[in-house]
Amino acid sequence: MPRAIRVSRFPALIRDEIEERLLSLRFDSYRTLAAELEKRTWYISKSALQRHHQRLKAQKIQENKQQ
């Protein structure tokens, strides 16, 4: 299996899909989302998805504070 990569290194189309699913909570678990991506030959760990999700949530909080 190829080495897993960070979400930020995915092509924009795939990254946007991942971020949309994470923010809308349209996934069962980080493990199942990682497995779905792996079936499409995009390798990422469940931990990397979780870290990226935490960063996205923090960004949204910052954006809301600035408004």
Residue 3 lies in a domain: no
Give the structural domain span for 50.
Answer: 9-66
Residue with tokens 């949530």: 57
pLDDT at 4: 63
Total structural domains in the chain? Answer: 1
Residue 4 lies in a domain: no
Cα gap 63→46, rounded to integer Å: 26
Residue 2 lies in a domain: no
Residue 58 lies in a domain: yes
Residue 19 lies in a domain: yes
DSSP state letters, 22-47: HHHT-SS-HHHHHHHHHHTT----HH
Q: Which of 3, 7, 19 is nearest to 48 (CA)?
A: 7
pLDDT band at 6 (very low <50, low <70, confident <90, very high): confident
Cα gap 24→5, rounded to integer Å: 22
pLDDT at 1 over 80: no
